[in-house]
Chain A
C-alpha cells in the first residue's frame, strides 16, 4: 500500500508540470479561439459582449478576407504540386541511381530547412531587388538588355512567394520520401529490370504504390504547413503588400489582432482551422487506396 502511494506521488510529480504547461499555453488558448470568435472585445478593456455568429457573417462578406483565402488556396495548390513533383523526382534519383556525392546533395538540399524564414525572406529580397537584384541582373545577361522586372509588384508578388516557398520546402519533403523509398526492397527493382521495365515504369509501378502511405501523410502535411508557411513568408517578405495583393489567411487574422478586433480575428482563425481540417480530410479520402504489399 505504501509502495503504491509512492508510485502515484512519483507519477503525479512527473506528469503534473507538463500537463499544467500544456493546459495553460495550448489547451486554454485553443478553446479561447473558438469562444472568442463569438464575442466582441474592446481593444484595451477585457470586457466582452456576446455577438453570436455576427463575426462570421461580417467575415464572409469581407472582400479582404475572401481575397486572402483565395491567395491561401492558390499557394496550397501550386506550392504543393511543384514541391511534390521536385521532391519526389529528386528523392527517386538520389535513392535509385548510383550517384557520386549522394550525401553531399542531400545535405545541400536540406539547408533551406534549417534557416529562419526571416533569413530566407532576406535572401529573397536580395534576389528580387528591382535594380541590382540577382535575378534581374541574370535575366538582363541572358536577354542582352536591361530587364527591370518588379518581382514584388501586385502582378508578380504571388509568384515570388511561391518560388521562395518551394525553395524552402523541397529538401524537407525529399528527405521524407528518401526515407521511405530506401525501405523498398532492391530485389523488386531487379526483377522488374529483368522483365524489361524501364526507369519510368519502375517508378510508377513499384516506387509510387509502395510509398503511397507516406505520400498520403505528406499531402496532409503540405496542406497544414503551407497555410502556416504562407503566413510566415508573407509576414516577413511583403507584410501582405502591395495593397493586400499578397495577404494570406493567417496574416489577415494576425492583422485584425493588430487592429484590436480580437473577436473578428478569432472568427477568421476558426474558419481557417476548419478549412484546413476539411481539406485534409477530403484529400485523405480522395487518396485512399488499399495499401500494396509485395
Chain B
C-alpha cells in the first residue's frame, strides 16, 4: 500500500528523502487515477529499497499542487535529492512509461 502524505510533509518526505522519490497526485472521480493505482503498487514492489513511492490527494492539498503547477490527475513527479528530475507523466499512464522513468531516475 503506497504511503499517502499531505502538503505539510512534502519537505521532509520528498525533498529531504534519501532515496529518489516518485510522487503521485491523485483525485477522486478519476478513472485514470484508479487505473494507475495497481500499476503503481506493482512497481513499488519491484523498486523496493531503490525508489520511494508516495501519493498525495490533489483536492486536499491544493496549495502544493498549485506551487508545483500540477493541474491534472493523475500526475507523477520524480525527485532526486530534493530536485525534480525529468518529465512528468499525466493522464492515462502506461506501466512501461513509469518503469522507464524510474530507471532513468536511478541512472
Q: Do the two chains bind? A: no
Residues of B within 8 A of A (CB): none
Residues of A within 8 A of B (CB): none
